[in-house]
């Protein structure tokens, strides 16, 4: 069976297009009229916050993402929205403005407004029963592909796993490269980690056994753009990175990530590391899996004067090491994509342990 992909139906792209947001939302204000803006609290008091087209009766939620989104946090935000709107009243839209963490938060709140129970009950594949509230994604960091993906990654009581469903996909995205302006200068490491999430997605997809021409077409173009950004420092890098992320997400939709993401999930689960940085830490040790990709990744790190953290696993207890291995072993489709059906013969626990010990 081939996947029947759901893609984002509406996209605005271009510098300054954020200012069209009010006009984009206008036709959607057809019920309660309420719009809920979910904003990364980094922007509190900053120019971008003042440009949000808040109308009377709208709700602005400033959300902190020092820690990546949790199911408990999503449930609390959903309650807050319900209380604000009143009994039996729904907002007409939920708009996420931020990096991958906020994009996932807004998706999840939109879904939890219309689906009963707690968000952790929906961690998995196609468990969401009802379409969410109309939702719009506006990235302020580029690389995760969360603006186009069918998942909202959440840490729950048992595991970190997405709300994967067709309903998760945004109804609208607003891609304004201006919102990336200055990110490279102000938070160069974060800019790099998030960008490398995209680069690594592409390497894993393109080298994987699941890849087809659909995924390859998007993945290869995304790599071209990543090189222009991270090796050539192209003057239009904000535009290019925005599109690299979008294309990377489109590619993954019809392929899968691989060894780096499988190991990085284990590493971040135990060490509490963020997704982007964990991927970069792991990828640096995967020469045997992705020789060309790792070489180019190191060139990108050097060119941008980024130091990859080292010696993180030296003091782990045996129990923690076991947990790391177990979480990574559980990522079956990722290993299958990387190494084929017989992946367990090629990736025994001992080999995984040796890799983690190097980190
Ligand atoms: P992020 O959203 O976690 O943000 C990282 C930091 O950058 C935060 O401190 C944030 O406040 C700050 N920030 C955001 N925009 C900024 C700006 N313009 N200027 C200055 N600071 C800014 O980072 P991310 O790497 O974009 O997202 C990581 C998250 O995405 C993880 O939770 C991961 O699980 C998730 N993810 C989701 C998908 C998906 O398909 N849904 C894919 C990959 C990763
Ligand atoms: Zn990723």
> Is 229 within the bounds of a domain?
yes
Contact assessment for residue 206 and residue 44, using Cβ atoms and an 8 Å cutoff: no
Going by alpha carbons, the residue nearest to atom 27 of ligand 1 is 100
Question: Measuring from atom 24 of ligand 1, which residue has the nearest CA?
Answer: 100
6 within a domain of the structure (yes/no): no
User: Which residue's C-alpha comes closest to atom 4 of ligand 1?
Assistant: 99
Domain CATH for 345 = 1.20.1090.10
pLDDT of residue 159: 84
Q: Give the ligand with the smallest distance to the CA of 62.
A: 1
Q: Are residues 277 and 329 in the same domain?
A: yes
- pLDDT tier at 22, thresholds 50, 70, 90: very high
Q: How far is the CA of 146 from the centre of ligand 1 (A)?
A: 9
Q: Are residues 213 and 287 in the same domain?
A: yes
Residues 6 or more apart whose Cβ sits within 8 Å of residue 56: none
Closest CA to 267 of 320, 215, 231, 304: 320
> What contacts 158, CB < 8 A, 6 or more positions away?
120
Number of domains in the chain: 2
Identify the band that residue 223 occupies on the pLDDT scale cut at 50, 70 and 90: very high
Protein residue whose Cα sits closest to atom 11 of ligand 1: 42
Chain-centroid distance, C-alpha 175 = 15
Kindly state whether residues 114 and 83 are assigned to the same domain.
yes
* Mean predicted lDDT score pLDDT of the chain: 97
Using the mean position of ligand 2's atoms as its centre, give its distance from the Cα of residue 10 in Å: 23
User: Which atom of ligand 1 is closest in space to residue 66's alpha carbon?
Assistant: 9
Structure tokens at 122: 């929906």
Tokens of 80: 């807050």
Rounded to an integer, what distance in angstroms lies between the CA atom of residue 7 and that of residue 193? 25
Residue 2 inside a domain? The answer is: no
Whole-structure pTM value: 0.97
Non-local (6+) Cβ contacts of 319 within 8 A are: none
Query: pLDDT at residue 338 above 90?
Result: yes
Assess whether pLDDT exceeds 90 at residue 11: yes
Q: How far apart are CA 282 and CA 329, in angstroms?
A: 15
Q: Which two tokens stand for residue 179?
A: 């919102």
Per-residue pLDDT of 124-146, as tens digits, reads 999 999 999 999 999 999 999 99
- Ligand 1 centroid – CA 351 distance (Å): 31
User: Directed axis angle between helix 237-253 and helix 188-206, to 10°?
Assistant: 40
| Domain around 255 | 187-357
Average pLDDT for residues 166-185, to the nearest whole number?
98
Pocket test for ligand 1, best of 101, 162, 165, 180 (most atoms within 8 A of CB): 101
Ligand 1 atom closest to the CA of 68, numbered from 1? 32
Ligand nearest to the CA of 201: 2
The answer to the question of residue 1 being in a domain is: no
- Rounded CA-CA distance 48/67 in Å is 22
Average pLDDT over residues 160-181: 97
Residues 6 or more apart whose Cβ sits within 8 Å of residue 256? 204, 205, 208, 210, 333, 334, 336, 337
pLDDT interval class at 158 (50, 70, 90): confident
Say if residue 345 is exposed, middle or buried (CB neighbours under 10 Å; 0-12, 13-18, 19+): exposed
**What's the average model confidence in pLDDT over 300-305?**
98
Q: Which residue has the tokens 């196609």?
A: 126
Q: Positive or negative CA dihedral for 142, 144, 148, 151?
A: negative
Per cent of the chain over pLDDT 90 is 98
Give the mean pLDDT of 318-342: 96
Predicted confidence (pLDDT) at residue 352 exceeds the cutoff of 90: yes
Which residue among 103, 144, 151, 180 has the greatest number of ligand 1 atoms within 8 angstroms of its CB, and so is best to mutate? 144
Q: Please compute the mean of the pLDDT values over residues 294-298 and round it to a whole number.
A: 98
User: Alpha helix locations (H) across 257-310?
Assistant: 259-271, 275-283, 291-303
Q: Is there a domain that residue 5 lies in?
A: no
- From 141, 147, 173, the mutation candidate for ligand 1 (largest count of ligand atoms within 8 A of CB) is 141
Q: Which ligand is nearest to the CA of 199?
A: 2
Q: Would residue 117 count as lying in a domain?
A: yes
| Nearest atom, ligand 1, residue 99 CA | 2
* Per-residue confidence band for 71, with pLDDT thresholds at 50, 70 and 90: very high
DSSP E strands in the chain: the ranges are 10-13, 35-40, 59-63, 93-98, 124-125, 135-139, 153-155, 160-164, 172-175
Q: 60 and 159 share a domain?
A: yes
Is the pLDDT at 46 greater than 90? The verdict is yes
Confirm if 100 and 194 have CB atoms less than 8 A apart.
Answer: yes
Q: Are residues 232 and 165 in the same domain?
A: no
pLDDT digits (tens, 9 = 90+) for 225-248: 999 999 999 999 999 999 999 999
| Distances in whole angstroms, Cα of residue 224 to Cα of each of 100, 102, 187 | 22, 27, 23
pLDDT bin (cut points 50, 70, 90) of residue 160 is: confident
If asked whether residues 351 and 230 sit together in one domain, one would say yes
The domain spanning residue 169 has which CATH number? 3.40.50.1970
* Co-location of 16 and 95 in the same domain: yes
- What pLDDT sits at residue 206? 98
Which of 158, 179, 200 delimits the end of a domain?
A: 179
Q: Residues within 5 Å of ion ligand 2 by Cβ?
A: 197
Question: Is there a domain that residue 3 lies in?
Answer: no
Residues 208 and 311 in one domain: yes
Q: Which ligand is nearest to the CA of 49?
A: 1
- Pocket residues for ligand 1 (CB within 6 Å)? 40, 42, 65, 68-69, 98-102, 104, 140-141, 144-146, 149, 151-153, 183, 186-187, 190, 194, 197, 274-276
> Which ligand is located closest to the Cα atom of residue 195?
1
Question: How high is the pLDDT of residue 1?
Answer: 85
For residues 32 and 51, the answer to whether their CB atoms sit within 8 Å is no
200 CA → ligand 2 middle, Å? 7
ipTM of the predicted structure? 0.99
Nearest to 249 by CA among 97, 131, 137: 137
Residue after which a domain boundary falls, among 122, 153, 179: 179
């Amino acid at each position: 069976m081939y996947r029947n992909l759901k893609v984002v139906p509406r996209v605005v792209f271009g510098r300054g297009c954020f200012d069209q947001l009010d006009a984009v939302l206008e036709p959607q204000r057809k019920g309660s009229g309420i719009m809920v803006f979910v904003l990364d609290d980094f922007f509190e008091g900053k120019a971008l916050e003042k440009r949000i087209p808040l109308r009377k009766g709208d709700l602005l939620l400033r959300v902190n993402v020092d820690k990546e989104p949790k199911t408990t946090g999503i449930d609390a935000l959903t309650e807050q929205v319900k209380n604000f709107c009143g009994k039996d009243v729904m907002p007409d839209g939920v708009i996420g403005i931020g990096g991958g963490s906020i994009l996932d938060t807004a998706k999840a709140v939109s879904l939890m407004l219309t689906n009963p129970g707690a968000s952790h009950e929906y961690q998995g594949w196609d468990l969401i029963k009802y379409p969410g509230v109309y939702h719009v994604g506006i990235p302020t960091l580029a690389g995760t592909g969360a603006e186009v993906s069918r998942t909202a990654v959440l840490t729950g009581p048992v595991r970190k796993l997405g709300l994967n469903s067709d309903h998760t996909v945004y109804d609208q995205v607003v891609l304004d490269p201006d919102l990336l302006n200055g990110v490279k200068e102000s938070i160069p490491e974060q800019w790099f980690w998030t960008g490398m999430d995209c680069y690594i997605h592409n390497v894993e997809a393109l080298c994987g056994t699941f890849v087809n021409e659909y995924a390859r077409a998007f993945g290869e173009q995304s790599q071209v753009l990543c090189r222009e950004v991270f090796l050539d420092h192209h003057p239009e890098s904000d535009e290019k990175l925005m599109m690299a992320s979008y294309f990377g997400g489109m590619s993954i939709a019809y392929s899968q990530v691989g060894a780096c993401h499988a190991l990085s999930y284990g590493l971040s689960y135990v060490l509490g590391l963020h997704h982007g940085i964990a991927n970069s830490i792991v990828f640096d040790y995967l020469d045997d899996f992705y020789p060309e990709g790792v070489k180019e990744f190191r060139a990108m790190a050097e060119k941008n004067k980024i130091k990859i953290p080292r010696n993180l696993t030296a003091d782990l207890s045996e129990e923690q090491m076991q947990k790391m291995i177990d979480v990574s072993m559980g990522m079956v489709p990722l290993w299958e994509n990387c190494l084929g059906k017989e992946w367990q013969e090629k990736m025994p626990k001992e080999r995984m342990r040796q890799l983690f010990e190097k980190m």
